[in-house]
Structure 1
């Protein structure tokens, strides 16, 4: 069956009739899509589900959301089935403990279109990276899921830019090797090849869940504001159409729709005075008015 958080590899092996993404429906596969997950997996109908849409003008600054400390991200390791060595650690960032890495995976859309799970002010990105950690005291992901803060997930958006992200090519090539059941990948890379320095990152924080069944509500989510670059050519690479679900259907559109907040608060590491996000021209004029107004006061 499809285990939690192993979307990239496990969904390839998913058995017809079990849960699936909306894009998997076909004459050969009548599995249960996201809207029906709660029928078989009650947690999927819970009050703290993920992903969500982050509304930037409603987020609240939390001074406890300090810089992260990444450990082991510069070490070269063998990327097998997208698992990560436990020497990769995560602490700081307002987390209640030190967490060790478990695995990472990607979510993407169809034909290079919207494919991220989370969205910001209704905007979705073509791809989203999840790096999954569990508290270091636990021996497995299953054990960590019994703790409401047992899992710490980092989410990075990929945004299409004009240049090629050469560091990402190795991960993309590795993805292309995972085509059929039983195939694994073996390649070497460092997390610093694809994600930036931890102490320079602003982020959002909320309490949520796994984004696949059983949707366990045990995840401290960190969604980074700084997107990662990916070229149009990379996001539309042929391998996306050669990766296959268990039914031989191309593996595209692997994301869960956004879920209701149900009263949850989304926090940010950015102080309120630096939240000049500029969603529209009115905000721009207000920011300029404040700047020039302050200058006049000091003359």
Structure 2
């Protein structure tokens, strides 16, 4: 039931990483005005590590893990007021720490810190993780840290200190009304460091119904921006979140810290280096966009033949 279309953090345990130190490939020019993804290792040695994210998920190589039970969500249904900011690299929504997750084979209770998004250009491919080599229109990351820690920097020193829930976006014909508050607020934060208050939203509105959150992929990795700390337990949900092309395109109105159009905000996929990606469900329902289109065409052809 998936795929087609279906978001960081910086703070180094060694040094503070400023926004001017790194950029996405879409910002790199021939005179190298900023440090692109291929050279992030020069900013933080973690970025050259062997347990980096994002990765390409190869569905035929997934291994089912019975320990990947359903999550227990706390506060996901509660509405809150949060600061939405253009931080020069993405759009980020600060979350109240009363929002928590546990179970699902996590070793502790994790509290929410923030969520952010990654996208392409004008609705094009923009997810960080890929599935069978396919990049989806976008990806949202909800960042949590272990309850015992006070900051991302502190949690990043623990190899399992951070838990990120990832959701893929999928293009749909109709708009996702639950995303209207966020999409409409983007026009107020087009410039870097602009912020606005997002009122009356809940994580349940922005994610999936909890009954659809039992099928997911799990692997150990890193933050996907410098300092690339290898401290993340990654969970990527199989079911996608639908957004219309107009909604997906709205993110491209934002500007990077260098005033360029904020597009293609993703890090290239990193080698697995022997890591295993696990799956919580039985049969993997993911199919490629090409196969999906082909099945629709065949179905339509059969329908026309039958009625004709």
Normalising by the residue count of structure 2, what TM-score does the alignment of the two structures yield?
0.82
Secondary structure of 1:147's counterpart equals coil
Residue-by-residue CA offset, 1:57-92 (whole Å, 9 max, x unaligned): 101011100001111011111120311000100111
> For 1:49 and 1:133, how far apart are their aligned partners in 2?
18
> For 1:266 and 1:181, how far apart are their aligned partners in 2?
36
Residue-by-residue CA offset, 1:253-299 (whole Å, 9 max, x unaligned): 1100000000000000013xx34656669xx9xxxxxxxxxxxxxxx
- Relative distance call for 1:131 and 1:163 in structure 2 (3 A) is same
- 1:199 deviation in Å? 4.2
Q: Does 1:54 align with 2:57?
A: yes
> For 1:28 and 1:249, how far apart are their aligned partners in 2?
15
Match of 2:216 among 203, 206, 217: 203
Partner of 1:291: none
Partner of 2:45: 42
> For 1:209 and 1:106, how far apart are their aligned partners in 2?
16
Moved more, 80-89 or 206-215: 80-89
Match of 1:187 among 198, 221, 243: 198
> For 1:22 and 1:220, how far apart are their aligned partners in 2?
25
Q: Does 1:229 align with 2:232?
A: no
Moved more, 244-253 or 195-204: 195-204
Partner of 1:21: 24
Q: Does 1:142 align with 2:136?
A: no
Residue-by-residue CA offset, 1:106-151 (whole Å, 9 max, x unaligned): 0001121100000111111111000000000111111100100000
Q: Which of 1 and 2 has higher RCO (CA within 8 Å, sep 6+)? A: 2
- Relative distance call for 1:263 and 1:99 in structure 2 (3 A) is same
> For 1:223 and 1:38, how far apart are their aligned partners in 2?
25
- Relative distance call for 1:35 and 1:278 in structure 2 (3 A) is closer
Match of 2:81 among 72, 78, 89: 78
| Matched length | 269
Partner of 2:189: 178
What is the Cα-based RMSD across aligned positions, in Å? 2.2
Q: Does 1:67 align with 2:79?
A: no
Moved more, 77-86 or 196-205: 196-205
Match of 1:216 among 214, 229, 234: 229
Secondary structure of 1:107's counterpart equals strand
Secondary structure of 1:223's counterpart equals strand
- 1:26 deviation in Å? 4.0
Secondary structure of 1:66's counterpart equals coil
Query: Could you tell me whether the CA contact under 8 Å between 1:67 and 1:198 is conserved in 2?
Result: no
Query: Could you tell me whether the CA contact under 8 Å between 1:161 and 1:229 is conserved in 2?
Result: yes
Gaps of 5+ in 2: 1-7, 12-16, 85-92, 296-308
Gaps of 5+ in 1: 6-10, 285-299
Partner of 2:298: none
Query: Could you tell me whether the CA contact under 8 Å between 2:169 and 2:240 is conserved in 1?
Result: yes
Partner of 1:107: 118
- 1:183 deviation in Å? 2.1
Query: Could you tell me whether the CA contact under 8 Å between 2:212 and 2:239 is conserved in 1?
Result: no
